[in-house]
């Protein structure tokens, strides 16, 4: 029976992958035999990157307190208590995703563990998640010698990422030929037609199916008729793809395709060559990379390459210098640079017409630049374009209409089509920009060419950094509400604050923490950091629920209506009031209960001043 492809088993959470790789580096240069495979799994437990079941209370305490270092002997005791039939296999399973992505070479043999050039890049402090996944996905192919799941016998003959780009491009061409405006493909179409494209020779035929499906939906007048048609079409499509009329198999495939589609969009978007449009409902090619995409589609038809051995394939995907990108010639880079210069100049001109302040850029004489310098110049232009986008976002965030929009989006964040944690980081950034008189609001999430976040901020950095005239702060957000909020955010937030305090020691540093609901264990951790200090120094942490965070916007809205500005000194006053509360209450539970009243008093006082 045929099956679709997916990346759910090939790529894990990027931060988790990085942690696994960091631990493996301890074993670099040593044979990855059974003994070391077991040791690797024990090291993952010791570093709290893997948590087995059936722990004793004493063992559980090490995982509960993220700052409590676990001795190797305890980790080994936990591992041995699992009584695995094949203990070494646990280490082999854990390292498998790293091998498949080409981040390392850790085989079940006497050969030494090696972190590849791609892996070393991933472990570096300034790694670019978009670049990492772009390089990986350009080379990931089905079949390949490293996979027994997707074989040529099963009908696979495709590079999924490049095949997806081709499919979107073909659909756009066919849609345009019908006299309609190309929009990419919808999320619904993506989930149905992308994972089931398993042979590059079927790209055009698959594009025809997408267009036919879309046209058939449009012909149905009522929503009910559309739903009935879609349901019947999808079941027929799945039955034909699978080659079976088994209802269970058909329903299972359709359910899986939704998950596969969502996951694929999330990871392909990291590359910056996929653009989300139409309020998140359409997936299109990134027009800002038109030259690169055109060249890629001309030179790569998405057919898989031939590899004789697993080693040959792994060596290829692990090489940071491969593939050689078809636009990285002097002639093509000049075209890209000229296009970017024109874009940024027009962008800057448009911002000037709107009275938006922005930094000037020093343009170079392209003709005199060598190939490598041209590559750096192109990247500098992209960074500048994103800076211009940030200036525009800050300007737009000042309007009453935008503030109302942010309030509405925050109130309905659980209904968002986007990944909720990413959306909360984005909205918090917009709100902090809307407060107007910050010197700089710097989110740490990776972004696409549209300056929209593609993933959450890395685990080793605070989510958002804020700089004001009188103080600095970080903003940490989470969608977690249960005890895992405390585990994932409690100690890490305090560590981020301390790193920020050390880096920017010229001003007092605060931390604004935002979550749908504040868990009592998280509050207890922050209470201790405020009252008794974190590693010797007291911290200033301000925890707010999303509903309380919205109140800041509501205050801002009222102030704006009066034609006045919200000053960061007023925000500082609120932060100080919430932190000082800890001196007037006896425990963290009472502190949490008093925060709403403090917020209400601050709101009333501020609005009464404005109305005078």
Contacts of 190 by beta carbon, 8 Å cutoff, 6+ apart: 261, 264, 265, 283
Tokens of 250: 């058909």
pLDDT attached to residue 8? 58
pLDDT attached to residue 10? 54
Tokens of 357: 């302040």
Say if residue 374 is in the same domain as residue 508.
no
Domain assignment of residue 320, yes or no:
no
Stretches in the chain below the pLDDT threshold 50: none
pLDDT attached to residue 542? 94
The CA distance from 570 to 499, in Å, is: 26
pLDDT attached to residue 261? 92
Asked if 577 contacts 598 with a C-beta cutoff of 8 angstroms, the reply is yes
Helices (H), 360-471: 371-396, 400-411, 420-434
Domain assignment of residue 175, yes or no:
yes
pLDDT attached to residue 100? 86
Domain assignment of residue 375, yes or no:
yes
pLDDT attached to residue 415? 77
Say if residue 486 is in the same domain as residue 591.
yes
**268 three-state secondary structure:** helix
Say if residue 485 is in the same domain as residue 560.
yes
Say if residue 373 is in the same domain as residue 407.
no
Domain assignment of residue 461, yes or no:
yes
Domain assignment of residue 309, yes or no:
no
Say if residue 462 is in the same domain as residue 353.
no
Residue where one domain finishes, among candidates 375, 393, 411:
393
CATH classification at residue 550 = 3.40.91.50
**333 three-state secondary structure:** helix
The CA distance from 480 to 72, in Å, is: 30
Say if residue 463 is in the same domain as residue 577.
yes
Residue where one domain finishes, among candidates 354, 371, 393:
393
Say if residue 574 is in the same domain as residue 481.
yes
Q: Which domain holds residue 603?
A: 397-611
Residue with tokens 């009333």: 604
Residue where one domain finishes, among candidates 376, 393, 410:
393
Domain assignment of residue 310, yes or no:
no
pLDDT attached to residue 535? 82
Say if residue 565 is in the same domain as residue 479.
yes
Say if residue 39 is in the same domain as residue 165.
no
Give how many domains the chain has, as a whole number.
Answer: 4
pLDDT in tens, 422-449: 899 999 999 999 987 888 899 999 888 8
pLDDT attached to residue 11? 59
- pTM of the entire predicted model: 0.86
235 CB neighbour count, 10 Å cutoff: 16
Domain assignment of residue 150, yes or no:
no
597 φ/ψ angles, rounded to the nearest 5 degrees: -65, -40
pLDDT attached to residue 239? 95
Say if residue 381 is in the same domain as residue 501.
no
Say if residue 438 is in the same domain as residue 545.
yes
pLDDT attached to residue 284? 96
Domain assignment of residue 339, yes or no:
yes
Asked if 518 contacts 543 with a C-beta cutoff of 8 angstroms, the reply is yes
Say if residue 407 is in the same domain as residue 376.
no
């Amino acid at each position: 029976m045929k099956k679709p492809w997916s990346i759910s088993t090939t790529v894990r959470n990027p931060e988790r992958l990085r942690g696994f790789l960091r631990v493996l580096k301890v074993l670099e240069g040593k044979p990855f035999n059974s003994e070391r495979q077991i040791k690797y799994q024990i090291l993952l437990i010791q570093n709290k990157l893997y948590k087995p079941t059936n722990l004793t209370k004493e063992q559980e305490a090490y995982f509960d307190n993220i700052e409590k270092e676990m001795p190797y002997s305890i980790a080994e005791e936990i591992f041995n208590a699992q009584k695995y039939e094949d203990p070494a296999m646990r280490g082999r399973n854990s390292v498998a995703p790293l091998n498949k992505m080409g981040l390392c070479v850790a085989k079940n043999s006497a050969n030494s563990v090696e972190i590849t050039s791609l892996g070393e890049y991933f472990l570096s402090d300034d790694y670019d998640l978009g670049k990492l996944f772009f390089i990986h996905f350009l080379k990931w192919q089905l079949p390949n010698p490293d996979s027994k799941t997707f074989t040529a016998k099963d009908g696979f003959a495709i590079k999924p990422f490049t095949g997806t780009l081709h499919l979107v491009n073909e659909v756009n061409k066919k849609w345009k030929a019908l006299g309609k405006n190309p929009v990419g493909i919808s999320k619904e179409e993506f989930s149905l037609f992308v994972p089931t494209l398993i042979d590059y020779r079927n790209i055009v035929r698959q594009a025809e199916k997408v267009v036919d499906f879309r046209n058939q939906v449009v012909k149905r007048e009522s929503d009910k008729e559309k739903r009935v048609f879609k349901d019947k079409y999808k079941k027929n499509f799945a039955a034909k793809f699978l080659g079976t009329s088994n209802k269970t198999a058909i329903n299972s495939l359709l359910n899986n395709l939704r998950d596969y589609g969502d996951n694929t969009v999330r990871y392909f978007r990291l590359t910056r060559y996929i653009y989300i449009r139409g309020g998140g409902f359409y997936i299109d090619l990134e027009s800002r990379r038109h030259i690169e995409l055109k060249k890629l589609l001309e030179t790569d038809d998405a057919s898989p390459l031939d590899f004789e051995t697993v080693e040959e394939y792994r060596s290829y995907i692990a090489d940071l210098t491969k593939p050689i990108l078809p636009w990285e010639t002097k002639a093509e880079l000049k075209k890209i640079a000229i296009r970017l210069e024109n874009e940024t100049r027009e962008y800057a001109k448009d911002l000037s017409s709107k009275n938006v302040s922005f930094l000037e850029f020093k343009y170079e004489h392209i003709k005199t630049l060598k190939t490598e310098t041209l590559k750096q110049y192109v990247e500098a232009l992209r960074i500048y374009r994103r800076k211009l986008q940030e200036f525009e976002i800050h300007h737009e965030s000042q309007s009453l209409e935008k503030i109302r929009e942010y309030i509405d989006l925050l109130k309905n964040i659980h209904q968002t089509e986007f990944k909720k944690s990413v959306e909360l980081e984005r909205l918090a950034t917009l709100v902090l920009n809307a407060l107007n008189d910050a010197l700089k609001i710097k989110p740490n999430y990776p972004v696409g060419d549209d300056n929209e976040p593609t993933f959450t901020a890395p685990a080793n950095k605070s989510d958002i950094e804020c700089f004001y005239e009188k103080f600095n702060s970080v903003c940490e957000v989470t969608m977690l509400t249960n005890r895992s909020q405390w585990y994932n955010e409690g100690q890490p937030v305090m560590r981020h604050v301390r790193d920020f305090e050390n880096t920017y020691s010229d001003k007092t540093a605060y931390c604004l923490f935002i979550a749908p609901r504040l868990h009592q264990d998280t509050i207890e951790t922050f209470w201790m950091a405020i009252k008794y200090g974190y590693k010797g120094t007291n911290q200033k942490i301000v925890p707010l629920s999303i509903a309380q965070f919205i109140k800041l916007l509501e205050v801002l809205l009222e102030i704006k209506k009066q034609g006045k500005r919200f000053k960061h000194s007023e925000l500082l006053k609120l932060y100080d009031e919430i932190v000082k509360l800890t001196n007037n209450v006896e425990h963290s539970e009472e502190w949490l209960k008093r925060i709403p009243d403090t917020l209400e008093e601050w709101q009333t006082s501020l609005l009464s001043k404005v109305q005078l």
